[in-house]
Amino acid sequence: MQSAKPLVRVGVVQQAISGNDKQKNWQESATQIRQLAQDGCRCVLLQELHSTLYFCQTEDVDVFDLAEPIEGEGHRFFGALAAELNIVLITSMFEKRAAGLYHNTVVVYDCSADIAGIYRKMHIPDDPGFYEKFYFTPGDLGFTPIETSIGKLGVLVCWDQWYPEAARLMAMAGAEILFYPTAIGWDRNDTPEEQARQRDAWQIIQRSHAVANSVPVVVANRTGFELSPTGNEGIEFWGTSFVAGPQGELLAQASTDKAENLIVDLDLQRTEDIKRIWPYFRDRRIDAYDDINKRWRD
């Protein structure tokens, strides 16, 4: 079938972070973004909390000094870059909304220095090494796609990626592509077998979102080892940024242990064609799903 919709070239930046110098980290991101734009990417995805080290390994009130308002210094830097390169740019930030009120927030630019839309992370983990509930208030904007020049983008963040409800609600609202900026990795004390199971599960669940909703999924994860601020343990981020097509097929995948970029041409006409022959939304039994709003069925 002749594609009625154009191909969309998407770029992913997988970055290693070595410190909390925001300007240095932003300049490194900008170098990769420029290269991807030069290679024809119309949309570029950065990883979760790319401005600094992953600070949620411990609970420390001084870390709140790293946060900034939506229209702060990071906004001015990345908004100007999106406008200069004429691209859709998906960025991540530690948002200071008010004193004592902070979010893990995505800011999207659409070929302009103006903000096209934001998403605040809805599912907030609280696990050893990932003490995010100490820092982030759960999002209050719901699961609403962001309108851009390349289509409706469903942007979710890291822990959100484990929840089929989040992906489904974005797709039900018309999201044509799902994006997941991410910061996830291994505990070095885990066995290689356990590490492999964790990484496989992480990729399988996201590929299943692509299948269940017949949309491409684009994932940017950080890479490299980041020592805990206490000097203990740390996280080995497992990279493996990837892009999956609307049947869950892997279109590109990065390595586990090095900074690199991905480039993929997404055929949104094919996405529509897949929806026509796999009509999951038609056959959903919405009359029988009331209990999905319960925490548990006793």
Q: Which residues pair with 114 in a beta bridge?
A: none
CA distances (Å), 23 to each of 13, 131, 273, in order? Answer: 17, 25, 44
Rg (CA), the chain: 19
Q: Which of 28, 41, 43, 48 is catalytic?
A: 48
Active site residue 5: no
Amino acid identity, residue 223? T
Active site residue 48: yes
Under DSSP, is residue 296 helix (H, G, I), strand (E, B) or coil? coil
Rounded to whole angstroms, how far apart are CA atoms 232 and 254? Answer: 28
Is 205 within 8 Å of 161 (Cβ atoms)?
yes
Is 41 catalytic? The answer is no
Which stretches does DSSP call E strand in the chain?
Answer: 7-14, 43-45, 88-98, 101-110, 115-120, 146-148, 151-155, 177-182, 185-186, 217-221, 223-226, 235-238, 242-244, 250-253, 260-267
Count of C-beta atoms within a 10 Å radius of residue 23: 10
Contact 17, 57 (CB under 8 A): no
Cβ contacts of residue 26 below 8 Å, gap of 6+? Answer: 51, 74, 77, 78
Contact predicate 225/16, CB 8 Å: no
Query: What region does 151 belong to: left with phi over 0, alpha with psi -120 to 50, or beta?
Result: left
Q: Which amino acid is at 2?
A: Q
Tokens 């796999």 sit on residue = 278
Identify the active-site residue in 96, 132, 158, 176. 158
Choose, from 121, 132, 176, 226, the residue flagged as catalytic: 121
Helix segments in 39-149, DSSP class H: 73-85
AA letter at 144: T
Q: Please identify every residue annotated as catalytic.
A: 48, 121, 158
